[in-house]
Amino acid sequence: MPAKRTYLDWNATAPLRATARASAIAALCCTGNPSSPHAEGRRARALVEEAREKVALLVGAEPAEVVFTSGATEANNTVLAGGWEAILLSPTEHDSLLAAAHASGARLHFLAIDGQGVVDAAGLAAQLAGLAGRRALLSLQIANNETGVVQPLGELAAMAKRHGLFVHSDAVQGAGRLAIDIATRDLDFVSLSAHKIGGPAGSGALIVRRRAELAPLLKGGGQERRRRAGTENIAGIAGFGAAAAAARSEVDAFGNVLRLRDWLESEVRAMAPEAVILGAGTERLPNTSCLALPGTRAETLVIALDLAGIAVSAGAACSSGKVASSHVLRAMGVADEIAAAAIRVSLGATTREADIARFLAAWDEAALRTRRRLVA
């Protein structure tokens, strides 16, 4: 295996930031339960509250609205289990949201999407018409983890609020990459994950706006203002806080990431005009490219690129490590041959031109030459 690695899988997990690592280690060395009134407990409490302020600032929330969780999976499950009569959602949501929706007992209304994966506002309007007086939730991700496609959340959330719905957004992939200010958006609940912004995995948050009530998913102690029981993961939370502060100051720097992503795509198109870039016809995250070369197989390509020192994902890298067919691409109506070839390349703030050049050389070898050999 080449010693030099090029990491282009930031949507799966971002490298741990030095500042998050230092904060987490310092917190690990701190003895004390944040619920204890003595000096040790108060010191642990201070670490949690300091992190709470930083996470709140990342999305324009009040610190009191931040509920620390074990990650976005738990945050999504907490919201979806909220006793809803009806849940409106996109078929392109993350598995943690879809599975929780199916388990919720609510009536599910899947929203129509176009070929880019964008929810159709007219379709939403039609679904809203029948929900007057019901305890109903609209749950829509800010941006898709596979394609980077950004939803017109402001417009759709405002429509849902006019009909009295609660609105949740899985903002995992948008946080730190798009400016998010929930105070100016009609959002009641927002899910966040630390490890997508350079914090430790196993830490996340659910933002619950003051006006919204939600029963705790985990019951027991009175932690997190009775909204999530269990002694706080102080190291994970401190690392999350440090990552959130760093990510917030970096959002503007994503112009450079966009430039690199666009360069990658234009080179791919120049090398193989038949390559398909999924979601390219609409607004996308600046760091994500979901690309397919017809006639190749994503899992073969991922392995070949790995051997060449490049880390990327198959379109739908699922948690078991196996590659399942992507429900996102299927819902977008992408042909099976293209979906089976789709790989996701996701960049981050420390990605450099040399990383993209290395990817392009390896992709040329792994995808184009292999295909030429097969065709010959």
The nearest distance, CB 316 to ligand PLP, in angstroms, is: 11
Closest to ligand PLP by CB, 199 vs 362, is: 199
Closest to ligand PLP by CB, 172 vs 217, is: 172
Residue 351's nearest CA partner among 244, 257, 250 is 257
Closest to ligand PLP by CB, 90 vs 223, is: 90
Extract the runs of DSSP E, i.e. beta strands, from 22-65.
none
Alpha-carbon span 30 to 44, nearest angstrom: 7
The nearest distance, CB 202 to ligand PLP, in angstroms, is: 8
Closest to ligand PLP by CB, 193 vs 233, is: 193
**29, 30, 290, 318: which is the annotated catalytic residue?**
318
Tokens of 96: 């943690």
Pairing, β 310-311 against β 288-292: unpaired
Alpha-carbon span 63 to 277, nearest angstrom: 39
Cβ-closest position to ligand PLP: 71
Q: Tell me the C-alpha to C-alpha distance, in Å, between residue 154 and each of 76, 141, 150.
A: 19, 12, 11
Residue labelled with tokens 């030095």: 18
Write out the residues near ligand PLP by the rule CB under 6 A.
Answer: 71-73, 94, 96, 141, 145, 170, 172-173, 193, 204
Residue labelled with tokens 């959340």: 153
Q: Establish whether 318 is a catalytic residue.
A: yes
- Return the amino acid letter for 99: A
The nearest distance, CB 351 to ligand PLP, in angstroms, is: 18
The answer to whether residues 165 and 53 touch, using CB atoms and an 8 Å cutoff, is: no
Catalytic residues: 318
